[in-house]
Amino acid sequence: MAKLYFYYASMNAGKSTNLLQADFNYRERGMRTMLFTAAVDDRFAPGVIASRIGLSAPATAFDAGTDIEALVLAEHNRESLSCVLVDEAQFLSGTQVDQLARLADAHGLPVLAYGLRTDFRGDLFEGSARLLALADALHEIKSVCTCGRKASMNLRVDDEGRPVAHGRQLEIGGNDRYVALCRRHFTEALAG
């Protein structure tokens, strides 16, 4: 039976690297995959999943209006797929997560979704919240805070490196905008 997996972590924990490794493993065995990434995240290039260690792969870009289930089924009917992999899964809508669950349940396609659990305020993203509710398997990818403890929070910083506590949820950035911290240091940083 196929499953819906959610691999979550703080920033810079290697989520995209893990996804690209999983994709490589399927392809190395002669299996076809379909990759998705959020259209809003075009730091490297539109429709590209890229890791900080230099790995990358083309992907289908999704936004809130994308019918992921229809795209996957059209491709699967054209030539059989073995797995669907989604990067930046926090940007999925609840409806899109429901579509991913149907791909696993009704169509027997394993779905591996990778993303952030929480935003810079410590609030769940819509896609992450729905994945936490529906995924058959939850896997935390570990990252490390500057103190050596597990980093589970994403601190947004301004151009001067000062913590940002308010603002819109969606702001794309990497090491220049976000710092992965343990809960204690995240809370202390926001307290000022």
List the domain boundaries for the chain: 4-142
38 is in an annotated binding site: no
pLDDT value of position 5: 98
Rg (CA), the chain: 17
161 is in an annotated binding site: no
- Two tokens, residue 3: 């499953």
Integer angstrom CA distances of residue 138 from 5, 37, 72, 165, 181: 6, 19, 22, 28, 21
128 is in an annotated binding site: no
pLDDT value of position 171: 61
User: What number is the average pLDDT over the span 165-191?
Assistant: 76
Reference 23, options 67, 58, 71, 52; nearest CA is 58
The catalytic residue positions are: 88
Q: Which residues contact 114 (CB under 8 A, 6 or more apart)?
A: 6, 7, 8, 15, 16, 18, 19, 85, 86, 87, 88, 89, 141
Q: Distance (Å, rounded) from C-alpha 46 to C-alpha 145?
A: 30
Tell me the pLDDT tens digit for each residue of 94-142.
Answer: 999 999 999 999 999 999 999 999 988 889 999 999 999 999 999 999 9
User: What number is the average pLDDT over the span 16-34?
Assistant: 97
31 is in an annotated binding site: no
105 is in an annotated binding site: no
Reference 183, options 157, 147, 158, 159; nearest CA is 147
Percent of the chain topping pLDDT 90: 68
CATH fold of 4-142, please?
A: Rossmann fold (3.40.50)
Percent of the chain topping pLDDT 70: 92
pLDDT of 38 > 90? The answer is yes
Tell me the pLDDT tens digit for each residue of 50-104.
Answer: 888 889 899 999 999 999 999 999 999 999 999 999 999 999 999 999 999 999 9
Average pLDDT of every residue of the chain: 91
- Please answer whether residues 188 and 165 qualify as being in contact, where contact means their C-beta atoms are separated by less than 8 angstroms: no
Residue type, 84: V
